[in-house]
Amino acid sequence: MSDRVKVMTLIVLAVSFLCYTLFLYKENYSSNAEYGTMADKGKRLWQEKNCNACHQIYGLGGYLGPDLTNVYSNRSEAYIKHFLQNGTNIMPAFHLTEQQMNEMLAYFKSIDSSGNASPAKLKPNYDGTIER
Amino acid sequence: MELLKDKKPISHLFVITGLLLLFSTLIFGTIGAFQYVFPGLYRESFSFEKIRPLHVSSAVFWILITACGSVLHYLIKKRNGLWSNKLAQWQWFLFTIAVVVILITYVLGIFGGREYWEFHPYLAIPIIIAWILFLINVIKTIKDFRKQPVYIWMWLTGTVFFLFTYLESYLWLIPYFRSNIVHDMTIQWKSYGSMVGCWNMLIYGCSIYLMDKISGSEKYSYSGISFALYFLGLFNLMFNWGHHIYTLPAPKYIQYVSYGVSMTELLLLGRIIYYWKSSVNTARKLYHILSYRFLLAADLWIFLTLLLAIAMSIPAINIYTHGTHITVAHTMGATIGINTFLLLAFVCNIFKIHKPKTEKRITAGLYITLVALPIFWISLIIAGVLKSNWQMHLSNEVPFSAMMQSIHPFFVVFLISGIILTIGFFVIIGNLLAAYFMKTQEN
Ligand code: HEM
């Protein structure tokens, strides 16, 4: 392989990568938690408390606790608040204020509305792809 | 800073820092595994949301800092020195300060909360600056870009793309990029997937350099096949990250692109099987015996990891593995079995460990890890399979805590094998550092 072929290959790859990247950037599938809203603050809180170390959203995160993508539609607000206030034998009590708990609930509500995270809801095809 | 003053190459400092981080990776990993087995352990003071980032960030920085150190070391060998030692010293200094502060903030419970880079975003600034210094040093040291061996290409592209993907992983700070959870996670895992590919470029580049040294021939690193495989690796780095997010309601083309691209990895698998036997035959290189043994160990794990990775890249299989401990098995299998073993091969070579007694002890350590790692890996896979069964069929009837209770025995095996693995690595780290400092004193 001459240097020229190598450089050309590299350029072709890099340009396709950049195009794919820009294409993905512009695909913001209708935002549901605008900047500064309750849900956005809840997201920041979720990150600042590092809830993700034990919980997953859409299956991604740490694995000591359950996935919480759809906790908002599976459980009542009172139930969720109870966990946030008291923790469990594994989860620490985070002593969130009423305001913070409402922000967290708004965040749960917004991620819940984005789709269902249960892999059981997906249908595998014979060609190896999956169907919603 | 003592070490900075004498004539030792700066790369040694990176490697020693890396080894200390490997030590902390193992300590915090073991505590985390204890928390799996004894629920609620240290719940109030040192719970899992602190332990996990302490473990994972230590691991990531062990890999990154040692990879940078190895690249710098081999560049020094190849080019009789770096363009700027000062720059490398600053890079080391910024990295080290950042890592120390990061670990302290975790203990204090201060987080940025993104997976793998769980520290406050401000702390990304020294890391980005350090990386830019590294990039400048690599480019300036290489200087002449004509007719270079494949590992030079790998170091260059790995360094450039790492900077890009690392910056990309902070796009969430801009509201547009975080306002939709699915879009946010898509970009996040796009950047992470590629980032791992980037540090692998640095590490695989070093291993090709080292294999050249061991075999005494540079034929491979200039060959067409090596470049073909390099471009295949780069192609995968850029486009195969989608398997992290197959189960998200993201556009379908991401699934197709990633699935299709991932299957080209089968070529890599084929090549490994084909060359496995011939690589075993070069065992004659006794002079590099320690590095050689670590390279062989990594070869085996590249094979196992690639097998699992390719399976997980098939969406219809991914829905069973996603969100379970199979993912953890895959991640740790790769970061230990491939990255850690390869990096240790470089460390043995960089430190020039040749004393028979030390060689023997390090080999014993390696054998301990080689026994423990498959048990560790399989216990996680079995736990994952059982969790998967629950996710797919039972989650409506059986509560999460009952499912975790039912897979508890496998966490016990995970913990015990993890402790043995830790002991094996401790033997290796301890002997490497002892031999290194003994040599320093003798000189
Ligand atoms: C060189 C050694 C090691 C490296 C490089 C390493 C690396 C990692 C990485 C990258 C993760 C994140 C996994 C993911 O997100 O899928 C992880 C998670 C973890 N590791 Fe390790 N690890 C090492 C050794 C150990 C050992 C010896 C133990 C236990 C004794 C351990 C216990 C854990 C635990 C409990 C988790 C968290 C799993 C979860 O998310 O729930 N690790 N490790």
| Residue A90 domain flag | yes
Tokens of B60: 């990531």
| Residue A131 domain flag | no
Instruction: Identify the pLDDT of residue B313.
Output: 92
Instruction: Identify the pLDDT of residue B233.
Output: 93
Confidence of residue B441 (pLDDT cuts 50, 70, 90): confident
Contact yes or no for B259 and A58 at CB 8 A: no
Q: Is the pLDDT of residue B4 over 50?
A: no
| Residue A127 domain flag | no
Residues A37 and A23 in one domain: no
Tokens of A20: 């794919």
- Chain B nearest-CA residue for A16: B238
Question: For residue A67, which residues of chain B lie inside 8 Å, CB to CB?
Answer: 323
Q: In whole angstroms, give the CA distance from residue B336 to residue B328.
A: 12
Q: In whole angstroms, give the CA distance from residue B210 to residue B407.
A: 42
Q: In whole angstroms, give the CA distance from residue B328 to residue B385.
A: 12
Residues A7 and A65 in one domain: no
Confidence of residue B1 (pLDDT cuts 50, 70, 90): very low
Instruction: Identify the pLDDT of residue B5.
Output: 46
Please state the rounded mean pLDDT for residues B209-216: 85
Mean model confidence pLDDT for chain B: 92
| Residue A132 domain flag | no
What ipTM is given for this predicted complex?
0.95
Cβ–Cβ < 8 Å for B154, B205: yes
Cβ–Cβ < 8 Å for A31, B179: yes
Separation of B131 CA from ligand 1 center, angstroms?
A: 25
Confidence of residue B263 (pLDDT cuts 50, 70, 90): confident
| Residue A111 domain flag | yes
| CATH code (residue A60) | 1.10.760.10
Residues A95 and A74 in one domain: yes
More confident residue, B408 or B224: B408
Q: In whole angstroms, give the CA distance from residue A27 to residue B234.
A: 24
Confidence of residue B269 (pLDDT cuts 50, 70, 90): low
Strand partners, A67: A56
- A66-78 burial, b if ≥16 CB within 10 A, otherwise e? bbbbbbbeeeeee
**Lowest mean per-residue pLDDT among A1-5, B9-13, B368-372, B430-434:** A1-5
| Residue A50 domain flag | yes
Q: Is the pLDDT of residue B396 over 50?
A: yes
More confident residue, B435 or B354: B435
Sign of the CA dihedral running A38, B189, B411, B20 = negative
Separation of B66 CA from ligand 1 center, angstroms?
A: 18
Residues A21 and A38 in one domain: no
Contact yes or no for A115 and B182 at CB 8 A: yes
Please state at what angle helix A98-112 crosses helix A77-86, rounded to 10 degrees.
Answer: 130
Cβ–Cβ < 8 Å for B39, B402: no
Residues A22 and A52 in one domain: no
By residue range, what is the domain housing residue A98? 33-120
- B86-104 burial, b if ≥16 CB within 10 A, otherwise e? ebbebbbbbbbebbebbbe
Residues A77 and A114 in one domain: yes
Q: Is the pLDDT of residue B280 over 70?
A: no
What confidence tens digit (pLDDT) does each residue in B129-150 have?
Answer: 999 999 999 999 999 999 999 9
Residues A49 and A21 in one domain: no
Cβ–Cβ < 8 Å for B15, B70: yes
Q: Is the pLDDT of residue B281 over 60?
A: no
Q: Could you tell me if A6 lies within 8 Å of chain B, comparing CB atoms?
A: yes
Instruction: Identify the pLDDT of residue B218.
Output: 84
Residues A52 and A96 in one domain: yes
CA distance to partner chain A, nearest, from residue B51 (Å): 9
Tokens of B24: 């902390």
Percent of chain B clearing pLDDT 70 (strictly above) = 95
Which residue in the block uniquely carries the two structure tokens 């605008």? A34
3-state SS assignment for residue A67 = strand
Strand partners, A60: A57
Residues A59 and A91 in one domain: yes
Residues A76 and A107 in one domain: yes
Q: Is the pLDDT of residue A54 over 90?
A: yes
Q: Is the pLDDT of residue B276 over 60?
A: no
Residues A65 and A102 in one domain: yes
Indicate the pTM of the whole model: 0.95
Residues A110 and A93 in one domain: yes
Amino acid identity, position B420: I
Confidence of residue B6 (pLDDT cuts 50, 70, 90): low
Q: Is the pLDDT of residue B337 over 80?
A: yes
More confident residue, B278 or B396: B396
CA distance to partner chain A, nearest, from residue B300 (Å): 27
Instruction: Identify the pLDDT of residue B3.
Output: 44
Counted domains in chain A:
2
Q: Whose CA is nearest to atom 21 of ligand 1?
A: B29
| Residue A64 domain flag | yes
What confidence tens digit (pLDDT) does each residue in B80-134 have?
Answer: 999 999 999 999 999 999 999 999 999 999 999 899 999 999 999 999 999 999 9
Which residues approach ligand 1 with their CB closer than 6 A? A 62-64; B 22, 25-26, 29-30, 32-33, 36, 52, 55-56, 59, 327-328, 331-332, 335-336, 340, 418, 421-422
Segment 88-117 of chain A within 8 Å of chain B by CB: 89-92, 110-111, 114-117
| Residue A126 domain flag | no
Cβ–Cβ < 8 Å for B76, B7: no
Tokens of B434: 């002892």
Tell me how far the alpha carbon of residue B433 is from its chain's centroid: 21
Q: Could you tell me if A121 lies within 8 Å of chain B, comparing CB atoms?
A: no
